[in-house]
Chains A and B, each alone.
Chain A
């Protein structure tokens, strides 16, 4: 799926497509900018975009032979080689990056996928796997010298097992379809990324997707029991099953969030949960971000774990109110949605505590949902935040850092300073409960230099997240977008160890190259040991 050129920009997020024109990397500092508290990389030689590995001539040269070999084992409509057909796959939801693949292949089953991978492996051709293409970080961005494998035909739910409280589906089934498949018996699959109507469970596993409810119910990795994947050489591997925990190394945990670098996921077994008896939400308005931040901390400190705890700033509140009229108060600086779910008695009890906390911290507006319709109305604005902003700004970048909750007021203040320094507006929606920020940087791509400035601003925000003890990405993944910022969080040895794991699965680096790791090292080089022989082992150490 992708956005057509004719699609109006503000509509894109509604279609779950190119909601984020994210391009992080290096940019020009705006003229006269004030010195920042941390450095922003500026490399005028390289330009603003993250560079992908140069196509290998040896791969490009065998395109026709590869095509013939693939076609020999597959139906005509399963191998796409024409320009128009390939353009359909040229980006994911990080639409600032576009690159048609060498070829696109649509296998029907594991046997065909294994065969395709084995062919690519033998020919040393690179491979990129793709689910629905909703990645916001470029995880499924094709390469000119890579075969793109579309998993859209892996679209069957294989097993619903209520007694073992799990569902098994092929990797191309959408996230929402899992919940819908088990709704008749009152169950659901907990992780609910905003793109759940389109994104696939295989993609969710690859990215370890979150959602508004992961504060209480965990991310994808906390809700899986098993998977099947195919290694780059075509070998199928099963991890886990319907039971808990691994017999050996937790490769299921490793695969989850590995961004398509380790194997092609074909089947997923996920836990399902009984839908909570009830859910209610409070809508709390505050005169300052600090007040709202204190309430978030106080709710957590009181031992309450809300199902969702979202914060919106004044700009977002106004934008969403104008967009879809959720009935938000317009005279507040920050608005919190606190949702509690569970047994009715518990929800009422805890919601009363939340309201007391909010009042004690000076809430200027307090509403508690008295009906399901009202609860959904509270959420309607939050869920429309991106399109609502998209209507007010020609373009925006959506960032995805996580910070320790208590640093929120400080981070918001510094973000406002950065906004002035870069001359670009930033507005915030925030999974406040788990510290996951989604700052939206507003810009106009038609103004020369604004995109580059917005990207530099975005990189500065992510560096700020890391500087206060947070991380580069809470749920969108590193992909292409944040690849070159990995060094702000990890040193060379951290990254080398991660890449040695990659080597165990893909020694030649042919699966989804150019993603996650800023520098590619050869596995042979990573495997070399520096040996220090002949030393006395630590006479100074305590021995017992």
Chain B
């Protein structure tokens, strides 16, 4: 296996034309930070996009940034921070799992293109949108070896099909992205959190639902059961389950809204200041409280928030799992023994809808299990036809998502 690392779009197109001609399967990579996610790809060569590593254009006043897909996320975030701006979708760093809490401010692993290709978003996703909502333009080369662009550099644009959305979350199976344009936003002046202690899972979701249905504009809503919370600083101190609600904005507004939430929710609560709140939310986004362990796997379950307690209860009856709720209950991270059958995890979603992705497991296990949630036949066939339109020879990350894509 060779590592091909073009740094110009013409080289990238040439490689893909050659690979398409000879049907050479390629593993498309950035920095490799998400190599452990998805069905293992059997490829002849690695196509690294790490050579597209420059920020091409950043205009703080226009709230837009264009960079090579291989640009380290850390570099992008550092530049934005200097201008008091940020990526609103709060990309998590999946390599920091198990890292000590004190390191939570460490630079993020991963590349800008990787975040888009995986549509990875953090705790602010329900309030600010996912990576796909912030990717407003891109340039890529298809599996046919043909370059194309989509979108542009302005936020309001409906010209042509929105291929930026289609490529977001396509895990490199449709085209090799080499340039991404993202919408950026001003960083909030202030961010603090309200923490409710000792709630059960269903009470936690009810509290989050009440908070998210209020006028207080909550931008983070997670619930950690006591054993998981114990792995976070504040949780270790209280020994209780934690329900966290984040509020961001100008300081007077944050103060007013936190007081409003306290009145609304009552009960036993704590207020976290800027620093502690920041560390906790980063830890939750990066899954620090659910560290990897041998013979345990991690499922990422997206579901209707109100259904989360019921689904969780059903799953816990079948296996002794660690878990946490993010997104007000709309995202359940389930850490369970490797022998827990995938069918069982997915069956729990049958009534309410949603999907379960095997997020972290050994390569051998990922090769055995259907990693991405199976689709109904008509939708699977449609997705396969879409793939064929971009990559007819199946050379880009073959099988990483589904056998036929």
Interface string of B390-404 (1 = CB under 8 A from A): 101100000001100
B27 to chain A, nearest CB (A): 14
- A403 partner, pick from B154, B161, B390, beta carbons under 8 A: B154
A406 to chain B, nearest CB (A): 6
A204 to chain B, nearest CB (A): 11
B95 at the A interface (CB under 8 A): no
B339 at the A interface (CB under 8 A): no
Cα of A325 to Cα of B63 in the assembled complex, Å:
35
Report A-chain residues with C-beta under 8 Å of the C-beta of B133: 218, 221-222
Report A-chain residues with C-beta under 8 Å of the C-beta of B51: 542
- A497 partner, pick from B148, B214, B250, B304, beta carbons under 8 A: B148
Interface string of B362-405 (1 = CB under 8 A from A): 00000000001101101110110111111011000000011001
A368 at the B interface (CB under 8 A): no
A71 at the B interface (CB under 8 A): no
Report B-chain residues with C-beta under 8 Å of the C-beta of A409: none
A475 at the B interface (CB under 8 A): yes
Cα of A254 to Cα of B390 in the assembled complex, Å:
14
A532 to chain B, nearest CB (A): 5
B246 to chain A, nearest CB (A): 15
Chain B CB within 10 Å, residue with most, of A207, A482, A500? A500
Residue of B nearest to A236 (CB): B378
B357 at the A interface (CB under 8 A): yes
Q: How many residues of A contact B (CB 8 A)?
A: 107
A434 at the B interface (CB under 8 A): yes
Report B-chain residues with C-beta under 8 Å of the C-beta of A210: 156, 158
Cα of A281 to Cα of B17 in the assembled complex, Å:
55
A164 at the B interface (CB under 8 A): yes
B186 at the A interface (CB under 8 A): yes
Report A-chain residues with C-beta under 8 Å of the C-beta of B317: none
B146–A249 CB distance below 8 A: no
Cα of A300 to Cα of B156 in the assembled complex, Å:
15
B147 at the A interface (CB under 8 A): yes
Interface pick from B192-200, B231-239, B251-259: B251-259
Residue of B nearest to A472 (CB): B159
A399 at the B interface (CB under 8 A): no
A79 to chain B, nearest CB (A): 27
Cα of A543 to Cα of B61 in the assembled complex, Å:
39
Interface pick from A10-18, A29-37, A449-457, A488-496: A488-496
Q: In residues 474-504 of chain A, which contact B (Cβ within 8 Å)?
A: 474-478, 482, 486, 489-490, 493-498, 500-504
B385–A533 CB distance below 8 A: no
**A303-B15 contact given A163-B306, A243-B354, A245-B130, CB 8 Å threshold:** no
Report A-chain residues with C-beta under 8 Å of the C-beta of B323: none
Cα of A529 to Cα of B144 in the assembled complex, Å:
7
A486–B160 CB distance below 8 A: yes
B388–A504 CB distance below 8 A: yes
B158–A473 CB distance below 8 A: yes
Report A-chain residues with C-beta under 8 Å of the C-beta of B142: 497
B217 to chain A, nearest CB (A): 6
A122 at the B interface (CB under 8 A): no
**A244-B5 contact given A237-B379, A258-B161, CB 8 Å threshold:** no
Interface pick from B106-114, B163-171, B274-282: B163-171
**A244-B146 contact given A529-B392, A541-B5, CB 8 Å threshold:** no
A429 at the B interface (CB under 8 A): no
A402–B389 CB distance below 8 A: no
Residue of A nearest to B149 (CB): A494
Q: In residues 238-275 of chain A, which contact B (Cβ within 8 Å)?
A: 238-239, 241-254, 256-258, 274-275
Q: In residues 19-49 of chain B, which contact A (Cβ within 8 Å)?
A: 19-22
Report A-chain residues with C-beta under 8 Å of the C-beta of B174: 249
Interface string of B350-368 (1 = CB under 8 A from A): 0011110100000000000
Report A-chain residues with C-beta under 8 Å of the C-beta of B382: 231, 237, 251, 504-505
- Which 8 pairs between the two chains have the least Cβ-Cβ distance? A253-B165, A303-B186, A346-B253, A500-B389, A247-B355, A241-B353, A163-B306, A504-B385
Between A and B, 13 residue pairs with Cβ closer than 8 Å are A208-B158, A237-B378, A238-B379, A243-B354, A248-B380, A254-B166, A257-B158, A300-B61, A302-B186, A469-B153, A486-B159, A493-B147, A544-B3
